[in-house]
Structure 1
């Protein structure tokens, strides 16, 4: 078991476009070389590529292993991303709520990860997700000591990156700019940077949205993938969960109250404060996707309470 069949989608057009959008035209040679890189890793690790998976900073491939199990081969043109993810997943290696690393070639930017079964993203799980599962995931994420080495970036760096993205997205669309004043974005940014200086330190997933949390089945619960780790206030990791399926302000209030009830140690006041500061980001996504709506109005009203 090694070499891939000719029809296997190592690098399709859509995947190439996403990588070029993320890394620029300089990534093209890496994309061209990827089939050979995958072939070499498949020979080494006993893999047969089954299908491609969606990703923005990497190319992920669902593979069959020689022992009959499945795995995900994940490759990025930026080896530093793979090294940081590997270090974070190693810190969480004792927790069933994080995907396990089976092997790695960090100079190549390659990780071999377990395939999660049944594996559907949280956003598409029928009937929603038991809140106790969310509580377990958040508790497990933040229970590990922050490693001394390597030194993960602080949450302030993550906040800077988010608001750089917000400014770019706002300027990219007239519809968004019309509903999102510059001063609201700046006020939200300043409030978020103030929150990020909170002295509580936990190893954070850093990108814990609904597509990065998979269904591990009734025995395992939720499993997080694709961390972009940083260190800071544990309430930050709960923001995406707090906005999940929220349309009206009452939905948000109930959601936060339920999350606090089911998550030991989660500071509800800080979670609400984080949600207010990051609400502009969610409002932009809603406005770009479907224009003004009840949800975008709710998010913008929440953002106006930031600071």
Structure 2
């Protein structure tokens, strides 16, 4: 394992005043499938049959801005994210000659949200593999953030011959929350909790976890992307899809299989990340043991056979958003060595 430590170049800024009104008159309202929220590049539709249903998987296919280098990067979004959240990363990659495929997974954002679906990381990986086969892509860099890191890991385990290399950005699932003492919660309880979602709760959580206490006005776009789906007729189906996928990530740990990865892997971690699914349900003494990414990162990197570990001392769960230049310099430095 190679480990790199990137020193901080940024300092925290003063937090702006935040209105207490949860739904101001000018707050955006998006449709059940994020209708009304514009993505930075054209969306394409992949029609697939899965579990006896006709579904639509929406994705961006962004060509290199400069001379193509012949490589493709597939981006897998996190649970509270969408393909659009990768905007700055897509720009950085395509400027360096990479083709980028960024799908919304089934159940998320602009893709189909079936009421009845057996969600599994295996199923989402299979859906993504079918998309890549449809695009005649049989060898790609698979890159995932947050829940997308769990999914990218599962994809690389299922399809090692189609995975040129693997990039994991603050992946959840570096620990088994249930085994550490987080109690199981039913899908119905996740659903009831999800229906109470609000922009202010989302902002508070993102500030603490994604951005290490820092806040910038440009982060509001990602709060509203998520909150806007809960302000209109999409509240119910989005809360239900989120509940089903919470159960998926809680009950399908990948932490026991990092030793089995066969491809070169880059693990990138913000040391201030504290993500742990179900943390608030656990006793206080258990909560104190969860989400220590500054410890989990090097531990997991040491188990991955061909790993490089990069961590950011001052960043949180979303380093690609919080400090994009530093993040992309590190990412591209590693990718360019892999070609």
Indicate the structure whose relative CO is greater, using CA pairs within 8 Å and at least 6 residues apart: 2
How high is the TM-score relative to the length of structure 1?
0.27
Point out the structure with max Rg over C-alpha: 1
Bigger fraction of residues in helix: 1
Q: What TM-score do you get using the length of structure 2 for normalisation?
A: 0.26
